[in-house]
Structures are given as structure tokens and as C-alpha cells.
Amino acid sequence: MDTMQYTEASPPELEAGPDSTTSMQQDQTLRGQQQLQQQDPQQQQQQQQQQQQQQQQQQMQQVLSSSSSSSSSGSSIAVAPLDSAFGADDSVRGLIYGATLRFSDSAALRLRRRAMLVWEQGGPRRVLIVKKPVPAAAAQLEEMATWLQQQGLQVFVERAVHQQEFPQFAPFDAATIDIDFAITLGGDGTVLYLASLFTGDVPLPPVMCFAMGTLGFLTPFDATQYRTCLQWVLAANREHLYCTLRTRKRCAVLNAAGELLRVHHILNECVIDRGAFPSSVFLEVYIDGGFVTAAEADGLIIATPSGSTAYSMSAGGSMVAPSVPCTLLTPLSPHSLSFRPLIIPENADLLVRLPRNARSHAR
């Protein structure tokens, strides 16, 4: 008797009043349009940008407040993108400690997925290095961290790594230490583990991912060329550093009484499955409040574009570029021909509900 709810911000609906009031509003709208046409084009553009900022701020407030909303049908999960509070300007401050992002997307698209990073106050000062637990990654960490210290940076490592392997580097605590950028030495799993260290209101810093693992969808850099790659990062106070912004989802799990149980921040995917129960799970899927389909399957994957090359791809889902703002719905072994993998807009409200009369449970 569970319900899985994935909620993202949606624009408020407009309601019309009586006819007299509606005609009056139309007259006022016409007069306002005539005044707007008489204004300077630059002033019109500024007003439009301010209106877009206000709308996006309202949407972000709706997203954050939706995690505490109750559901009468069962436990629920509310999911929202963490990067939906971008303004309409070409630059954003505060998303990254000590740096400014200047977006390089097409002005018409406004995807907010490609940007140029520019350090402030002379460049980065604190770097976190997370490694895969293998000897080769440990040796690479020591060499790389020593070189970064020579460049004047303070190097942080995980507390366990500090205590057991490298006491010469400072231990990291996400609650008290602001990191300028991070480095991973491993595969895709190491990148996902790094993302799990930054939860709540702590933003995920820029990450340079060096390939030292088995899978490398998220690790494009060669560890043997680390000096050249890191010099690009250190020089970003003089030259722009291009980076890609990836979507993360905020997933809040609620019980049948609407009480918040836990919150997850996911970079790849969230999976609803039948667990150890032998029978398939029956799920009802709603998008933006409208019923889409009822699926009898082993489970359902809700994936980000970054997660499209992981579990979702193995289950038959599409591969999506990280610059595409979308959410993927991929069923696990569906007992139906009508429910195929779907790609929906990133800002769509998604509700996955387990009916009370379902014969199996979901986890």
C-alpha cells in the first residue's frame, strides 16, 4: 500500500472571473500592451528578464515546498531538479564557491546546461580528491595532491583516507568546509559516490573526473595528463573554462500518512522495484496530474540524462545527452505492450502510485 510520487515545479494555472471582470482585465491588458510598445526596447527586455526571474523563483519555492506535502493514497517520493533556480541573466553567482558561471547556451534555448566558469579572488583554494580503493588510485592521489599543494592549494581527502593512508592531507567535512572543486580518481561509481557526499543545501562543486575504473561514461580525462588538465582549472581566473551542468534530483520519501521519511539527492536514477516479493508490482503513472498508464512490471526506473547510460540503458531505455533537460521513465520487464520507455520534460510533475489493493509491495 505504497505510493511513489515524483514532483517537480509547474507554472500556476490562471483562472478567469465573471464576464465583466474578464472584459475589464482585457481592456487593462490592451492598454498595458500599448504602453509597453511605447517603451524603449531595452526597458522591455529588462522587464521580461525580471518577470522570468520572478516566475523561476516561484517555481523553485513550489519545488522545495512540495517535499513536505502529504498524500492520502500511500507513501510517496517527491523529486525535483536542483538546478531549476537559474535566473535569466547570462551569469550566475553563488552556485559555485568563489566562482561565476557564464552560460554559453543559445539565447533562444535557455537550456542552462553549458557554461564558462570564471574563478573570483585569484582562483581556487580548496580541492577535494576522492579515489577508488585500489593501489593505483592511491599512488595517483599522492602524486597529484603533492603537486596541487605546490601550486598553493589546500588538499582535502575523505576522513577514512586521512586516518588510514594519507595523514598529511586534511580530512573533509561537507557540513563545515567549502570546496572550490573536486577530483575523482576511478570510474563512474566514484563520481556517483562523490555526488552522495554533497546533500541537503550543499551544492555539488565542479568535478574533474579522471578515468581509473572500468566504466568511463562520466570520466573523460586521462590521469597521466593530470597536470595539463588541472592547469586549465587553475587558470580559469584568466581564461574561461567550459563545463557541463548535469541534472540532480531531490527525492523525498513520504509514508502513507504524508510524513517525511528521508530525502535523497540522485545524480543517476531512482528505482522502484518489487524487491524480494515473487510477484510483479502494479504501478499507476501520472504526469502533470493526468493518468498515463498502469504498469505491471518488476519495477520502474526514473533516470536523469546522466543516468541514461547506466541501469536505464541496460533495461532498454534511450541514451540522452547531459545537455538535454528531461527525465527518463524505463520499466523493468513490463508485463504489457503499452508501457514502453518514455522521455518526459524535466519540469513535469510525475506521480508513481502503488494502489492500496495491490497484491505486492514496492521498495
Q: What would the pLDDT profile of 120-130 be if each residue is shown by its tens digit?
A: 878 899 999 99
Taking 90 as the threshold, does the pLDDT of residue 348 lie above it? no
Taking 50 as the threshold, does the pLDDT of residue 210 lie above it? yes
At residue 323, the pLDDT reads 83
At residue 254, the pLDDT reads 73
Taking 70 as the threshold, does the pLDDT of residue 330 lie above it? yes
Provide, rounded to the nearest whole percent, the portion of the chain with pLDDT above 90. Answer: 34
Retrieve residue 337's grid coordinates. 505492450
At residue 53, the pLDDT reads 55
Global pTM value: 0.69
At residue 208, the pLDDT reads 94
**Could you list the active site residues?**
188
CATH topology of domain 248-353: Tumour Suppressor Smad4 (2.60.200)
Q: What architecture is the 119-244 domain classified under in CATH?
A: 3-Layer(aba) Sandwich (3.40)
**pLDDT tens digit sequence for 12-34:** 333 333 343 333 344 444 444 44
Higher pLDDT, 171 or 3: 171
Taking 60 as the threshold, does the pLDDT of residue 57 lie above it? no
Question: Where are the domain boundaries for CATH 3.40.50.10330 in the chain?
Answer: 119-244
Confidence class for position 44, pLDDT limits 50, 70, 90: low
Interval 274-285 mean pLDDT: 81
At residue 112, the pLDDT reads 67
Interval 314-334 mean pLDDT: 91
Confidence class for position 166, pLDDT limits 50, 70, 90: very high
Question: Where are the domain boundaries for CATH 2.60.200.30 in the chain?
Answer: 248-353
| Closest by Cα among 196, 193, 222 to 208 | 222
